[in-house]
Structure 1
Amino acid sequence: MIVVEPRGNAHGRYGVDAPAVLAGLALGGVAETALAAVLVAVGWAVPAVVLLIGGGMMIIGAALFAHTTLRGKFRVWDAELDRLGLTGSERVLDMGCGRGLVLLKAAARVPGGDATGVDLWTHDQSGNSGEATLANARAEGVADRVALVTADMRGLPFPDATFDLVVSSLAVHNIVDAEGRADAVREALRVLKPGGRLRVADFRNAGRYADVLRECGAADVHVYDLGWRFWYGGPHAKTSMVAATRP
């Protein structure tokens, strides 16, 4: 099903990634810090220090997670899309578009093109739905060039060589099996036009995505770290970008 809506003029709402994880980090940190204070009061200094350190690390992790999901990833994707030097007439696909953060940033850069978002609307972003994405498209003033398709990224409903740019942000890892993730990466390359570019950001499996692309004959395949602004709690959950070009 493809839906296109008219333009709007406000700002979108993009929810929180994995809100249960963020809440767990914050509440766990507060709980450990509070327990440390109790242990200090009863004279158990050593376990109190251990708990205080652990609680502090969880609170820092929660702060980093919140920054990434509410601000950091916005800035990172702005920089990534700007570096692509889009002409404004491209056709763009966002695999696993969620509430539309990357989709709509891309749409804003292609006033003479279009941007299509694919999702199943089932995973861990708060308030994830096609209706929320359409509302954001109207709010950002780009709904005239945005379409949404409910589909599985392992079998994209588009002909070969349809898009100039395919993007994906923190979506492919939601596929539970390795072969399914590989299928999604192969599909992304399939629907690219010759010379089209691929950018997949994820905090797991980036090296494997790159291997699959090389096996499929993609050019200019490389993986790079997106920095602390895209940490989901710390460097243990950093996000990497996989870049490639279809020959």
Structure 2
Amino acid sequence: MDAPGVLAGLAVGGIAETGLAVILFGVDWVAPAVVLLVGGIMMLTGAAFFAHTTLRGKFLVWDEELDRLGLTGNERVLDLGCGRGLVLLRAAARVPGGHATGLDLWTADQSGNTAEATSANAAAEGVTGRVTLVTADMRDLPFADAEFDVVVSSLAVHNIPDDEGRALAVREAFRVLKPGGRLRLADFRNARRYAAVLRECGAADVEVYDLGWRFWYGGPHARTTMVAATAVRRET
């Protein structure tokens, strides 16, 4: 589950505000009761969107995105910030003749985020033999230039605290793509900046598009955006 503390905060806050509103209605404090009731309903609605996204919506969206890539089954795929394996394992299932590498620092932004948990998930999905896990920083990838056919990332790059660091991660993602390789980077902040960096690197077919309500972390204010690009040439 992504950011479990945020989900818990929305749910508890929504219940508390709604409960207090009921109490205030009981003593005829109508105006503040209405304000609290509206706030409580908004928080509970946000919690519902958040729970749907983290438990189901993001899986459906990524399945569609991977299907649209039209993979042949022999690709080498890199997942930056793979976490427990949401995108990594779905990609691995689509490349029986290829390989999927997941890279992460295994921080606590996701519940149970450990390499061991991801390995267990890979075993459960029957893709252990085509998955490698690497502990490394996406700003300094331990891979050669043009090593991967596809690079994906889901809600990871924004965890880098500074703009230059995020830009470096995007440049590194582009560096390890083969000519003709494709990038899919989903995030809920900085998407247009990522796209600008990719254009500076010489990427083609750079697109930025909204992934819809199934990828809302609490509402439209926390929507997820996809950055798509193709590697054509590299700066020398």
TM (norm. structure 1) is 0.94
| 1:84-125 per-position Cα deviation (integer Å, ceiling 9, x unaligned) | 000000000000000001000000000000000000001410
Pick one of 174, 178, 190 that aligns with 1:189: 174
Q: Distance in 2 between matches of 1:143 and 1:205?
A: 33
Runs of 5+ in structure 1 lacking a partner? 1-15
Secondary structure, aligned partner of 1:43: coil
Which residue of structure 2 aligns with residue 33 of structure 1?
18
| 1:175-213 per-position Cα deviation (integer Å, ceiling 9, x unaligned) | 000000000000000000000000000000001000000
Which residue of structure 2 aligns with residue 111 of structure 1?
96
Pick one of 44, 61, 85 that aligns with 1:59: 44
Matched, 1:152 2:137: yes
Q: Distance in 2 between matches of 1:113 and 1:157?
A: 19
Letter in 2 for 1:79: E
Q: Distance in 2 between matches of 1:17 and 1:135?
A: 18
Matched, 1:68 2:57: no
Residues 123 and 174 of structure 1 are in contact (CA less than 8 Å); yes or no, is this contact kept in structure 2? no
Q: Distance in 2 between matches of 1:34 and 1:89?
A: 55
Which residue of structure 2 aligns with residue 226 of structure 1?
211
Q: Residues 184-223 of structure 1: matches in 2 within 5 Å?
A: 184-223=169-208
Give percent identity, aligned residues only.
79
Letter in 2 for 1:98: G
Which residue of structure 2 aligns with residue 8 of structure 1?
none
TM (norm. structure 2) is 0.98
Matched, 1:49 2:72: no
| 1:124-152 per-position Cα deviation (integer Å, ceiling 9, x unaligned) | 10000000000000000001100000000
Letter in 2 for 1:237: A
Residues 164 and 196 of structure 1 are in contact (CA less than 8 Å); yes or no, is this contact kept in structure 2? yes
Which residue of structure 2 aligns with residue 12 of structure 1?
none
Q: Report the number of matched residues.
A: 232
Runs of 4+ in 1 over 4 A off after TM superposition: none
